[in-house]
Amino acid sequence: MDMPTALLKNPTATELLIQDHELIKSLFRQAEEAAADERRKKIGDRCVREIEIHSLLEKKIFYPAVRRDLGEERLVAQALVEHEAAERLVNELKGLAAGERYNTRLRALREIVEPHIEEESAGMLPRVENSDMDIEALGEQMLELKRRIDPRMFEPKQVRGAALLVGAALVAGGLAWATARAISRRRTA
């Protein structure tokens, strides 16, 4: 079940966030489909860990840059409120055993996180991509922080083992977004 969150060689900040979003959504789906509570908890715990790391990257690096470079106070403030709600459930989930209470809290977390992902994908990320922000440098900073948090995520064995899962999630979820972005850029060019 261990899988990396960074398979792209030199992802931009937005590519890294999109990749994380797709992985988190995939883990939520897998947890929902799991037949046994113990399996659901194992997948759910991995999802919780991914959310914690992703949230840290956004709060420490990405959101401050968006606030500083784009002046997007309202979008960042809204995102941080959503993060606080998710963090409360994350902390509660970390103390629960497998079972119905865990399952209910995990579904509640999904109901908070997935709309947040969609809002960010439709609002903040396109604004960042269409700006003059140095998303390559931000991506490097974010990737470095991920490596410091959990170096095991980047071991070659882990990367190979998860490439198909994350690749499929990226294709399924990211292709439509990337296509829309390319069309939008052609229109403005």
Contacts of 32 (CB under 8 A, 6+ apart): 40, 107, 110
Domain ranges of the chain: 13-188
Quick one: pLDDT band at residue 12, thresholds 50, 70, 90? very high
Alpha-carbon span 180 to 174, nearest angstrom: 10
Alpha-carbon span 17 to 182, nearest angstrom: 18
Alpha-carbon span 17 to 139, nearest angstrom: 9
- The pLDDT of residue 17 is 96
Task: Kindly report the CATH number that applies to the domain delimited by 13-188.
Answer: 1.20.120
- Give the mean pLDDT of the chain: 84
Quick one: pLDDT band at residue 3, thresholds 50, 70, 90? very low
Give the number of other CB atoms < 10 A from CB of residue 55. Answer: 22
How far from the centroid of its chain's Cα atoms is residue 81's Cα? Answer: 16
pLDDT tens digits, residue range 96-125? 999 999 999 999 999 999 999 999 999 999
